[in-house]
Amino acid sequence: MSTITTNDLKNGMTLDLDDGLFQVVDFQHVKPGKGHAFVRTSLRNVRAGGTVERTFRSGEKVERATIDKREMNFLYRDGDDYVFMDNETFDQINVTPTTLGDAGFYIVDGSAVILEMYGTEIVGTDLPASVELNIAETDPGLQGDRSSGGTKPATLETGLVIHVPLFISPGERVKVDTRSGDYLSRA
């Protein structure tokens, strides 16, 4: 780990603080008329997901955490666990669904995923902005409802339920936004 000062903070940087592992969401250097300068930050807990506000003295030293991003292929599900293969070393690792969080809803067999590693611990996933998934189950659209703006629930092949337009039928491929979980278009 490298030590940096709070003057070198940037958005997206990961810090190893006494409270845990935090990613810088936002920061602001403040120089009041009286007193010393300070840095006001908004930090996201990488493990728990919560956001905290924290103020540092200007020039204070903090530990920067080294996050290794590894591209891995999703092979299959082993019970509840996901099995990934490292593209460089060909090692296989089992990952629990709680570690992946909502990212598990966008991963299908053979898909490439970038896992963010801190040592041997997986602290996050880096998914593409959108993925293409098959509709596993949805109600058929009614005749005459093809042009209206209504939506209906649809279950994807991964188990995620999204709202799609009425003209979408089971078996079709759709493009889904991984950040919000919204339907984007037909694939």
Q: Which whole number is the average pLDDT over 67-93?
A: 88
Neighbours of 53 (CB within 10 A): 10
Q: Which whole number is the average pLDDT over 26-44?
A: 89
Q: What is the CATH number of the domain that holds 113?
A: 2.40.50.140
The per-residue pLDDT for range 133-182, each reduced to its tens digit, is 888 888 876 655 555 567 888 899 888 899 888 888 888 899 998 888 88
Indicate if the pLDDT at residue 1 is higher than 70.
Answer: no
Q: What is the pLDDT of residue 42?
A: 92
Q: What span, in angstroms and rounded, lies between the C-alpha atoms of 96 and 80?
A: 7
Q: What is the pLDDT of residue 53?
A: 92
Neighbours of 76 (CB within 10 A): 12
Same domain? 138 vs 107: no
Same domain? 10 vs 24: yes
Structural domain span for residue 159? 130-186
94 by DSSP, 3-state: which?
strand
Give the torsion through C-alpha atoms of 69, 72, 74, 78, to 10 deg. Answer: -80
Same domain? 23 vs 43: yes
The number of folded domains in the chain is 3
Q: What is the CATH number of the domain that holds 10?
A: 2.30.30.30
Q: What is the pLDDT of residue 66?
A: 86
The model carries a pTM of 0.71
Same domain? 119 vs 142: no
Q: What is the pLDDT of residue 147?
A: 56
Write the single-letter amino acid at 62. Answer: V
Residue at a domain's end among 126, 147, 170: 126
